Amino acid sequence: MNNIKSEKIYSEAVKYIPGGVNSPVRAFKSVGLNPIFIDKAHGSKIYDVDGNEYIDYICSWGPLILGHSNEDVLKGVEDALRKGTSYGVPTQIEVEVAKLIVQAYPSVEMVRMVNSGTEATMSALRVARAYTKRSKILKFEGCYHGHSDSLLVKSGSGALTYGVPTSPGVPEDVVKDTLVCPYNDLKSVEDIFKKQGSDIAAVILEPVAANMGVVAPKKEFLEGLRRITKEYGSILIFDEVITGFRLAFGGAQEYYNIEPDMTCFGKIIGGGLPVGAYGGKREIMNMVSPIGPVYQAGTLSGNPLAMYMGHRMLTILKNNREIYNDLEIKAEKLEKGIMDNLSKLGIAGTVNRVGSLVCMFLGEGPVDNYDDVKRCDVENFNIYFKELLQRGILVAPTQFEAMFLSTAHTDDDIEYTIKSNYEALKIAFN
Ligand code: PLP
């Protein structure tokens, strides 16, 4: 595999951009490589500047549920572009996208568009704090909600302690109200609520944790969170930035039949352009400026091009619900293929999958929380990753991310991936 052009661009990139990338996960540092630079992508395939072709399981980290440069999603986008790229004054298409979201999510009666998932979760928390007139929030270890200060927190020495900043630059004061519990551990949530429940404004979680690999929620965990937050008058926020419109048209809340008070969106709802949104019960969203006192704004929020692409994407999903069944079948085939490979090769490992989110963990399962995830075998994964790349398969350069399936992935893609997975594992564990 020739990487000459990518290497050349990378040597320039590091001079001008920290680490040569605009988001850390794009660097291949964790697997000891330099990143490949992309020229174009179509369907399930992505092509780097050296002309190498890969079956892509990153899929822009989630938005591209219909694959790259999908013709149906792109239809009419040139006309939309020529009409203007941003006005700073409202457009009808924003209303249409909001309507599609509200109709798909019974728990969402009003929704506000923003530019990223980070903005969505940050803003939802501000509204929840204002609505409840409380300061503390509870998040879960291993869940990622973007990079706003108060959410960049992992668990400290125990679930009942105050959070400690994950990143330098986040003042202790900013995170002193962020509490952290282990994922899937209802008992620790009960304990923390017993002590501090009347101060907790909101509980925020990924209803399927998809930023520590993929970790499914136990049904009783989600049900318990709904019950406890109701009992204490806290707001339950589902961060559906990944799961929204992916697990089902109505997201994880439809999939698990649990209604949160607020929901955050991103990724799929922009059809591949920058976007985010947060919404919830009317009474809560009435807090948002200009009807309420909570300030939240954005120069490019509800950008007409992002809304155009999002509207096309959501409309296609709405009118073709069989897509979710199709994804389920493909993802199950991939899951089973990898599980069989692990077992044939006698390698300790497991595959966690919820819908079209798939993740292979190397190490003893089950993997139900961040502590389980941390025990995984990173060194052999790095060899595995390189071997897959050599075979024309692009997965996230870390074990702790999902493989994102799209409708563009063909049966041949899946079969080739399973075969390559076997070969790469065999070499990694040789
Ligand atoms: N929430 C979840 C669940 C995410 O996966 C992400 C990003 O991957 C975010 C929030 C942040 O979204 P963004 O990267 O658009 O700021």
To the query of whether residue 185 is one of the catalytic residues in this protein, the response is: no
Could you identify the atom of ligand 1 that is nearest to the CA of residue 274?
A: 15
Average pLDDT estimate for 297-322: 98
Q: How confident is the model at residue 156 (pLDDT cuts 50, 70, 90)?
A: very low
For residue 164, pLDDT over 70 is answered with: no
Ligand 1 contact via 145 beta carbon (within 6 Å): yes
Q: Which residue is catalytic, options 139, 267, 330, 386?
A: 267
To the query of whether residue 239 is one of the catalytic residues in this protein, the response is: yes
Q: What is the pLDDT of residue 161?
A: 33
For residue 162, pLDDT over 70 is answered with: no
Q: Helix, strand, or coil here: 53?
A: strand
Q: Which of 144, 238, 240 to mutate for ligand 1's pocket (most ligand atoms within 8 Å of CB)?
A: 144
CA of 276 to the centre of ligand 1 (A): 9
Inter-axis angle of helices 186-196 and 219-232, to 10 degrees? 10
Q: What is the pLDDT of residue 60?
A: 97
Q: Do strands 403-404 and 38-42 pair parallel, antiparallel, or not at all (unpaired)?
A: unpaired
Pairs from 186-195 (Cβ < 8 Å, separation ≥ 24):
186/220, 186/221, 186/224, 186/225, 188/159, 188/160, 189/138, 189/224, 189/225, 189/228, 190/224, 190/228, 191/159, 191/160, 192/138, 192/159, 192/160, 193/228, 193/231, 193/232, 193/234, 195/160
CATH 3.90.1150.10 corresponds to the domain 4-69+321-428: yes
As given in the structure block, the two tokens for residue 165 are 């900043």
* pLDDT > 70 fraction of the chain, expressed in percent and rounded: 97
For residue 380, pLDDT over 50 is answered with: yes
Please indicate whether the domains covering 4-69+321-428 and 73-319 agree at the CATH topology level: no
For residue 160, pLDDT over 70 is answered with: no
Average pLDDT estimate for 310-321: 98
Q: Which residue is catalytic, options 239, 261, 377, 413?
A: 239
Supply the ipTM of this predicted assembly.
0.99
Q: Which residue has the tokens 């109709």?
A: 103
Distance CA 48, CA 37 (A): 5
Q: How confident is the model at residue 165 (pLDDT cuts 50, 70, 90)?
A: low
Question: Of 3.40.1190.20, 3.40.640.10, 3.40.50.300, 3.30.470.20, which CATH number belongs to 73-319?
Answer: 3.40.640.10
Which residue's C-alpha comes closest to atom 10 of ligand 1? 145
Q: What is the pLDDT of residue 262?
A: 99
* Interval 118-134: pLDDT, tens: 999 999 999 999 999 99
Average pLDDT estimate for 310-324: 98
Domain boundaries, the chain: 4-69+321-428, 73-319
Distance CA 119, CA 80 (A): 25
Distance CA 250, CA 244 (A): 7
Q: Which residue is catalytic, options 54, 57, 131, 144?
A: 144
CA of 118 to the centre of ligand 1 (A): 6
For residue 163, pLDDT over 70 is answered with: no
Q: How confident is the model at residue 159 (pLDDT cuts 50, 70, 90)?
A: very low
